Structure 1
Amino acid sequence: MATWKIDASHSEIEFKVKHLMITNVNGFFTDYDATVEAANDDFTDAKITFEAKVDSINTKNEQRDGHLKSDDFFNAAEFPVIKFESTSIVKKDNEHYKLNGNLTIRDNTKPVELDVEYAGVTVDPWGQTKAGFELSGKISRKEFGLKWTATTEAGGIVVSDDVKLLANVQLIKQA
């Protein structure tokens, strides 16, 4: 069994949500950790755990970040961590997988399915074995208790219910 840890300096955990239904607002988590345990070289038996600190949310706008940390959205004070635990991985071909797991936001746990693109394994110039993945998926924020809503004067929606999840992940094999 090999243990892999996320290389935060070479990974990004991102989300996108439609604002006014015409543009995306992108956000990132800057404080997170993940562990992958796998015996198979192709990660088909991997057990994955991931946590992100809500307080590390960054949308490049302090006022919006503060609103997202409030009870209208994540409620960072009461629910400081977002968690994911894998339940299965299905290999579609050598580069494409379906990752199933349970995502917990605000103590609401729901199953999610993510598309995974596996970029392979390599050894970096310092002798570390690394693996690369790109993950994507979509969730309904309201299912997780992020229910704040508003409408424009014309009746349009300010913030979409659908949230796109994107992660570019580099893992380091532990000795």
Structure 2
Amino acid sequence: MATSTWSVDPTHSEVQFKVKHLMITNVTGNFNEFNATATTEGDDFATAQLQFSAPIESISTNNAQRDGHLKSGDFFDAAAHPELTFKSTKVEKVDDETFNVYGDFTIKGITKEAKLNVELGGITKDPYGNTKAGLTISGKINRNDYGLTWNAALETGGVMVSEDVRLNAEIQLVKQEA
């Protein structure tokens, strides 16, 4: 079976994260720029090798002051560590549309194994004849594992920013012609 290469369609994709603030609500952020690729045997995503990267400078939470703080040494340290990356190491097929994807997630120069849940929405041709695949990706990481340890204790107990970060992405891939 021939190897297929897929690249992200950025106009039909998004990468978001959510973090609890004051332990009562979630703040949502995204990366305005990112790259994702997949290599599969034919169109079989159970054989996928996935790679993802995002420049830290493209982070956005719709608040310039908070975005600046996230890019600082308190969090991502964008000057010293300009991007985060994920590279898959193993794919477990749960069923025809669902996969557990394990891989090396690197943030702030620290690499840890992470597990992502991936749902294959389908594979189809667009009106221009391009073969496209849709992936819904979710997961959770502990930001402290990656050196993102800034926090503040609250007068009422608890902390300002939760340790858990929920990851959510809608990725549309375009199959590249051989």
Bucket of the pairwise TM-score, normalised by the shorter protein: over 0.9
**87-96 vs 148-157, which deviates more?**
148-157
Aligned CA RMSD, in angstroms, stands at 0.8
1:87 to 86, 89, 94: 89
How many Å separate the matches in 2 of 1:42 and 1:16? Answer: 30
Residue matched to 2:109: 107
Deviations 1:112-171 (A, max 9, x none): 001111111000011111000101000000000000010122222100000000011000
Residue matched to 1:160: 162
Structure 1: gaps (5+ residues): none
For the 8 Å contact 2:100–2:118, the answer to whether it is kept is: yes
Residue matched to 1:67: 69
Residue matched to 1:22: 24
How many Å separate the matches in 2 of 1:152 and 1:173? Answer: 49
**Which letter does structure 1 place at the counterpart of 2:99?**
Y
Deviations 1:70-118 (A, max 9, x none): 0000000000010100001111111111001000001100000011111
Residue matched to 2:128: 126
Spell out structure 1 runs of 4+ moving beyond 2 A: none
**Which letter does structure 1 place at the counterpart of 2:156?**
A
Shift of 1:47: 1.1
**150-159 vs 163-172, which deviates more?**
150-159
Give runs of aligned pairs for residues 37-76 of structure 1, distance below 5 A. Answer: 37-76=39-78
1:34 to 33, 36, 61: 36
Shift of 1:40: 3.8
**Which letter does structure 1 place at the counterpart of 2:149?**
K
1:150 to 149, 152, 155: 152
Residue matched to 1:173: 175
Shift of 1:31: 0.9
How many Å separate the matches in 1 of 2:88 and 2:56? Answer: 20
Residue matched to 1:11: 13
Deviations 1:17-39 (A, max 9, x none): 00011100000001111111111
**Which letter does structure 1 place at the counterpart of 2:157?**
G
Residue matched to 1:141: 143
Residue matched to 2:98: 96
**Which letter does structure 2 place at the counterpart of 1:145?**
G
SS at match of 1:60: coil
How many Å separate the matches in 2 of 1:126 and 1:40? Answer: 20
